[in-house]
């Protein structure tokens, strides 16, 4: 005999009030994070206002950084003794399962050596290829055909669009450690509302590229400088349906890539200079946030360099007298001018062949793509030497 679940009340107008949240409830993760964060603050931790999942305790050699995602916690610091001390303190407050040195975290594989740290998603990538039947396919050298022109209306509609959307969702998660597929995933995700056969073929081509580089990931060198530099670029009118431009940017801490983005602009740009200017204006907010976040790691960066291959966009951002060319642009895009005048951000011209952010704006030929892959610091630790 099966008993009814829950509490049955005679009065249907009454509701139950929970004294505490438990698993499988919608508020469980929120209540757990609130309990964890308040306990950490009461025990001397300082919670970051720029990223609430990040907390720190101590200074200098005794600095310990705590990063939490739901109930997964990472501890890091220059002193192993201080890390173990904080670990013991947390064990006294909560029931924890210590997994030892970091190897896997949320699908990310962490490989450490004397040369630095490499983040990959090889296991996740191979699982994706196996589930889609592309584990034995022929590898491709590029994530997207540079001659391919995708639009919303060409080709027949897919009979099962949910399969396409599910596949794109899994590919989006793979961009955490593979910035080289960011533009291709961004471009193909714009077609999720009404996906067609050519869109699915483009996704299959991307899976073929992943087959050739499943272990490729981000390299964070052990010997690195603390200079913040960014690249910004735009592909003017690249969208065939809306004629909007695509902005691409990436931010480096020394030689380590720490942030990247590929996004279609919200409005149509009247010139390539305006498209480049809008791409420039999207980077300062990310740079300011990263500067404030790095302060928790006791890394102070007074200014950052922003590289652009458009002199017209640099002049537009540096000289507020270009009224005729910029009066129709929203005021929030002129935010970059104040930063340039205060020397918080320094605009530097770079040749187009050295514009790393170009990889986030359009599909490239193999020679340029391979060159930018090396500059982004992507390596494959599983490739034969």
Residues 6+ apart with CB under 8 A from 136: none
Model pLDDT for residues 89-108, shown as the tens digit of each residue? 988 888 888 888 888 888 89
19 secondary structure, DSSP code:
S
User: What was the pLDDT predicted at 186?
Assistant: 94
pLDDT in tens, 231-255: 999 999 989 889 999 999 999 999 9
Residue 111 pLDDT = 92
Q: How confident is the model at residue 1 (pLDDT cuts 50, 70, 90)?
A: very low
Strand pairing report for 246-253 and 228-235 = antiparallel
For position 165, what pLDDT does the model report? 94
pLDDT value of residue 31: 80
Query: Taking Cα atoms as reference points, which of 134, 106, 141, 131 lies closest to residue 120?
Result: 106
What per-residue confidence (pLDDT) applies to 20?
60
d(Cα 288, Cα 290) in Å, to the nearest integer?
5
Adjacent-strand bridge partners of 65 = 56, 76
| pLDDT tops 90 at residue 208 | yes
- Give tens-digit pLDDT for 139-192: 999 999 999 888 888 899 999 999 999 999 999 999 999 999 999 999 999 988
Stronger pLDDT, 318 or 373, i.e. the higher one: 373
CATH numeric code, 224-350: 3.30.420.10
User: Could you identify the residue written with the tokens 């537009």?
Assistant: 316
- Residue 322: pLDDT band (50, 70, 90) is low
CA proximity to 356, closest of 229, 269, 169: 229
Query: Element (H or E) spanning 30, and its range?
Result: helix 28-42
Q: Which of 231, 266, 176, 187 is nearest to 358 (CA)?
A: 231
The pLDDT tens digits for 51-89 are: 999 999 999 889 999 999 877 889 999 999 999 999 999
The SS3 call for residue 231 is: strand
Tens of pLDDT along 273-315?
A: 889 989 998 899 999 999 999 999 999 998 899 999 999 888 8
Percent share of the chain, pLDDT over 70: 92
In 3D space, the residue among 53, 46, 59 whose CA is nearest the CA of residue 298 turns out to be 59
**Residue 321's pLDDT is what?**
64
Predicted confidence at residue 3, as pLDDT, reads: 42
Which residues in 337-376 are b (16+ Cβ under 10 Å) and which e? bebbeeebbebeebeeeebbbbbbbbbbeeeebeebbeeb
* Residue 2 pLDDT class (50, 70, 90 cuts): very low
Residue spans per domain, the chain: 1-100, 120-212, 224-350
Between 249 and 339, residue with greater pLDDT: 249
Q: Answer whether residue 21 shows pLDDT above 70.
A: no
């Amino acid at each position: 005999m099966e008993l009814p679940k829950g509490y049955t009340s005679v009065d249907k107008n009454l509701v139950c009030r929970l004294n505490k949240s438990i698993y499988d409830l919608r508020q469980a993760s929120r209540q757990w994070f609130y309990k964890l964060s308040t306990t950490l603050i009461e025990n001397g931790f300082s919670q970051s206002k720029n990223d609430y999942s990040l907390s720190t305790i101590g200074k200098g050699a005794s600095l310990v950084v705590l990063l939490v995602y739901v109930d997964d916690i990472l501890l890091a610091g220059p002193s192993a003794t201080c890390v173990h001390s904080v670990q013991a303190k947390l064990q006294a407050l909560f029931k924890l399962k210590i997994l030892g040195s970091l190897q896997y975290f949320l699908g990310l594989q962490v490989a450490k050596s004397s040369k630095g740290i490499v983040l990959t998603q090889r296991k996740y990538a191979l699982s994706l290829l196996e589930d889609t039947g592309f584990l034995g396919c022929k590898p491709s050298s590029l994530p997207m055909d540079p001659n391919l022109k995708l639009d919303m209306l060409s080709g027949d509609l897919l009979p099962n669009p949910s399969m396409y959307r599910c596949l794109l969702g899994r590919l989006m998660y793979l961009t955490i450690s593979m910035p080289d597929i960011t533009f291709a995933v961004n471009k193909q995700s714009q077609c999720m509302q009404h996906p067609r056969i050519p869109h699915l073929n483009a996704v299959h081509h991307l899976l073929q590229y992943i087959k050739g580089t499943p272990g490729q990931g981000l390299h964070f060198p052990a010997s690195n400088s603390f200079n913040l530099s960014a690249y910004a670029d735009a592909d003017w009118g690249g969208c065939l349906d809306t004629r909007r431009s695509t902005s691409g940017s990436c931010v480096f801490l020394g030689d380590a890539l720490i942030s990247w983005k590929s996004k279609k602009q919200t409005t149509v740009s009247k010139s390539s200079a305006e498209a480049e200017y809008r791409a420039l204006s999207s980077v300062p907010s990310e740079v300011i946030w990263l500067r404030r976040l790095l302060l928790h790691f006791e890394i102070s960066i007074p200014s950052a360099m922003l590289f652009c291959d458009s002199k017209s966009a640099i002049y537009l951002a540096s000289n507020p007298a270009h009224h005729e060319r910029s009066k129709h642009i929203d005021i929030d895009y002129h935010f970059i001018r104040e930063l340039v005048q205060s020397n918080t951000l320094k605009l530097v011209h770079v040749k187009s062949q050295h514009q790393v952010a170009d990889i986030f704006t359009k599909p490239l030929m193999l020679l340029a793509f391979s060159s930018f892959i090396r500059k982004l610091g992507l390596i494959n630790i599983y490739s034969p030497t």
